[in-house]
Amino acid sequence: MAHLLFLSFLICRLIPIVGLTLHSSDLLPLQLHFHPSTTSSVSTDFGGTTHSTPLAILHPTSPHDIAILIRTSYLSPHPFPISARGHGHSINGQASAPQGVVIDMSRDSVISDLTHDRPLPFYSSSRHEYYVDVWAGELWINVLSWTLANGGLAPKSWTDYLYLSVGGTLSNAGISGQAFHHGPQISNVHELDVVTGKGELVTCSEDQNSELFHAVLGGLGQFGIITRARIALESAPQRVRWIRVLYSNFTAFTRDQEQLISLHSDSKRFDYVEGFVIVNEGLINNWRSSFFSPSNPVKMSSLGGANGGVLYCLEMTKNYNEYNAHSVDQDVEDLLKELDFIPASVFTTDLTYLEFLDRVHKAELKLRAKGLWEVPHPWLNLFVPASRIADFDRGVFRGILGNKTSGPILIYPMNKHKWDDRTSVVTPEEGVFYLVAFLRSALDNSGEPSKTLEHLSRENQEILEFCRKEGLKTRQYLPHHKTQSEWQHHFGRNWDRFQHRKAEFDPKFILGTGQGIFQPSSIPYSSLFFS
């Protein structure tokens, strides 16, 4: 009884705010929360620089709850914004819904039937492959634990960090060092359930409602809320040989990276290829302790100073099982001998597949213990065409950065043919392009001006300006733009398609307003809603 009274109270609050015309009983069953102690929990994100408290949070108990909420908004004369929030690991408020409702997709908040009856992996005889169906708010770490425990299986394509939601990474792309071979995560999902901006729950795939399927993948939450994803699996390897080698010569570094991602034979290639930039020795000393180099201990001081103090680390793994453990040393050696790294700079370690995939979580725990996790993160992620990566090195790593980083800088190439052009994500128009990720933490009280949020944000702008001026034709990954013309430029020749998809699947501009793609002036309800 108390519960019903509480719900009625909530709905009474919602109706005058958003002008609902539906019968209020439609919303009664929904777990909508309005109290500031709850709504404030989603007012910021991992970036830590934006704040926007929604009017309400929905904790869905099923996809139908999401459909009811969106339909309510869609049928209202004053539609209200709705955004899904996976794990809130965006940087610039992308999962927020100013003046609207945030749907908390996390499994922790999801009640009843969704927390039980996790589907088991199953075999598709038509595709000769295993799949698993997962709730889109599920974290990748839980997907992995589940599939490993049920058949020794695992998804094929990853992100470096696993405490991200399936729906959140599929709305962007989902990339890591496996993407050169398997493509991004959006290339490894075969069916989705989606609630569109009209409140319709639709199953889509390559063969069924394919326009919606492709729109939603990399769609930045603009066309529908993914509730279920069918993810392709493979047999999980038992162990991973993890190798790092150093370069002082950028041309040799990128040539080797590009050579490695061109290899396709399963036995004669690495399973994961990434890299990072080291502009000071701190980073090496950080990871040195977790690596060992049995044959060639290296004095780091002997490597410093080359190339203006900038080093490049190439990072690779080779997966293996008990049955082929005898050949892994030889396989790795054969691949390494083709590379042109600094002699004697080979660092190797060996761990389980789960330990390798979950490696960033270890770093997270260390940073949390030091109070360095929940700090502002002015991250910038760029896709850079391979033909201009040397210019980028000259202008940014050895130019703008000036020997200071304040966090890891990842750099690794990917093959464009592993990306499906029909999805909504945009990548450079070249066969090979790099991810360059500036994953920096701001520390305003460290006494070092180069670590402040202001400094790092200004440096990000300088980097973007450099790319623009030099005509590098980069694209932002996990994009953040402030004006519609910037978004238009971001999507380039795909802008028209993006707009058409919006008109078809979310004609009232209800979804994903935190992305700021469709500005208030272009939103039909804005004059009503914001007046």
User: With respect to ligand FAD, which residue has the nearer C-beta, 136 or 303?
Assistant: 136
- 78 is an active site residue: no
Q: How far is the CB of 475 from ligand FAD (least distance, A)?
A: 14
167 binds ligand FAD (CB under 6 A): yes
Burial (CB count within 10 angstroms: exposed 0-12, middle 13-18, buried 19+), residue 416: middle
User: With respect to ligand FAD, which residue has the nearer C-beta, 178 or 254?
Assistant: 178
202 binds ligand FAD (CB under 6 A): no
- Binding-site string for ligand FAD from residue 98 to residue 137, where x marks contact by CB under 6 A and - marks none: -------x------------------------------x-
441 binds ligand FAD (CB under 6 A): no
- 181 is an active site residue: no
Q: Can you read off the two tokens belonging to residue 33?
A: 């929360």
Residues in binding contact with ligand FAD, number by CB under 6 A: 35
Q: Pick from 79, 100, 183, 221: which binds ligand FAD (CB under 6 A)?
A: 221
Q: Pick from 84, 144, 189, 260: which binds ligand FAD (CB under 6 A)?
A: 84
177 binds ligand FAD (CB under 6 A): no
Q: Give the integer Cα–Cα distance in Å for 436 and 388.
A: 12
Q: What backbone torsions phi and psi does residue 424 show, to the nearest 5 degrees? A: -85, -10
Start-to-end CA distance of the chain, whole Å, equals 37
Q: Give the integer Cα–Cα distance in Å for 63 and 228.
A: 9
Instruction: Identify the DSSP state of 24.
Output: G
CB atoms within 10 A of CB 457: 16
Q: How far is the CB of 154 from ligand FAD (least distance, A)?
A: 16
Q: Pick from 52, 94, 187, 319: which binds ligand FAD (CB under 6 A)?
A: 94
Which listed residue (45, 65, 138, 160) is catalytic? 160
Q: Pick from 147, 171, 188, 460: which binds ligand FAD (CB under 6 A)?
A: 171
Q: Pick from 44, 61, 72, 90: which binds ligand FAD (CB under 6 A)?
A: 90
- The footprint of ligand FAD on residues 31-70 (CB under 6 A) is 45-46
Q: 65 near 30, Cβ under 8 Å?
A: yes
User: With respect to ligand FAD, which residue has the nearer C-beta, 368 or 394?
Assistant: 368
- Binding-site string for ligand FAD from residue 360 to residue 389, where x marks contact by CB under 6 A and - marks none: ------------------------------
Q: How far is the CB of 90 from ligand FAD (least distance, A)?
A: 3
Instruction: Identify the DSSP state of 267.
Output: T
215 binds ligand FAD (CB under 6 A): no
* Distance, C-alpha 205 to centroid of its chain: 21
- 481 is an active site residue: no
State the number of CA atoms in the 13 A half-sphere of 328 facing the CB.
21
Q: Quote the radius of gyration of the chain (alpha carbons, Å).
A: 24
- Binding-site string for ligand FAD from residue 135 to residue 164, where x marks contact by CB under 6 A and - marks none: -x----------------------xxx--x
State the number of CA atoms in the 13 A half-sphere of 280 facing the CB.
8
Q: Give the integer Cα–Cα distance in Å for 111 and 482.
A: 36
Q: Give the integer Cα–Cα distance in Å for 507 and 222.
A: 10
What ranges make up the beta strands (E) of 11-81?
Answer: 32-33, 56-58
87 binds ligand FAD (CB under 6 A): yes
Q: How far is the CB of 490 from ligand FAD (least distance, A)?
A: 15
Angle between helices 495-505 and 484-491 (to 10 degrees): 110
Q: What backbone torsions phi and psi does residue 215 show, to the nearest 5 degrees? A: -65, -45
Q: Pick from 14, 57, 144, 225: which binds ligand FAD (CB under 6 A)?
A: 225
Q: Pick from 10, 11, 134, 175: which binds ligand FAD (CB under 6 A)?
A: 175
Q: Tokens 């799949």 label which residue? A: 131
438 binds ligand FAD (CB under 6 A): no
Which listed residue (59, 87, 89, 181) is catalytic? 89
Q: Pick from 70, 245, 478, 523: which binds ligand FAD (CB under 6 A)?
A: 478
85 binds ligand FAD (CB under 6 A): yes
Q: Which amino acid is at 200?
A: E
Q: What backbone torsions phi and psi does residue 222 show, to the nearest 5 degrees? A: -90, -20
Q: Give the integer Cα–Cα distance in Å for 14 and 32.
A: 10
Q: Give the integer Cα–Cα distance in Å for 218 and 192.
A: 13
- Binding-site string for ligand FAD from residue 254 to residue 273, where x marks contact by CB under 6 A and - marks none: --------------------
DSSP 228-265: EEEEEEEEPPSEEEEEEEEES-HHHHHHHHHHHHT---
Give me the residues paired with residue 133 across strands. 230
Q: Pick from 54, 81, 88, 100: which binds ligand FAD (CB under 6 A)?
A: 88
Stretch that binds ligand FAD, among 14-22, 80-88, 258-266, 284-292 (CB under 6 A): 80-88
168 binds ligand FAD (CB under 6 A): yes
User: With respect to ligand FAD, which residue has the nearer C-beta, 172 or 406?
Assistant: 172
**Of 87, 50, 44, 103, whose CA–CA distance to 480 is shortest?**
50
Q: What backbone torsions phi and psi does residue 36 show, to the nearest 5 degrees? A: -55, -30
Stretch that binds ligand FAD, among 6-14, 82-90, 117-125, 308-316 (CB under 6 A): 82-90
Residue ranges in contact with ligand FAD by CB under 6 A: 45-46, 83-90, 94-95, 105, 136, 159-161, 164-165, 167-169, 171-176, 220-221, 225-226, 478, 512, 515
> Which amino acids are annotated catalytic?
89, 160, 274
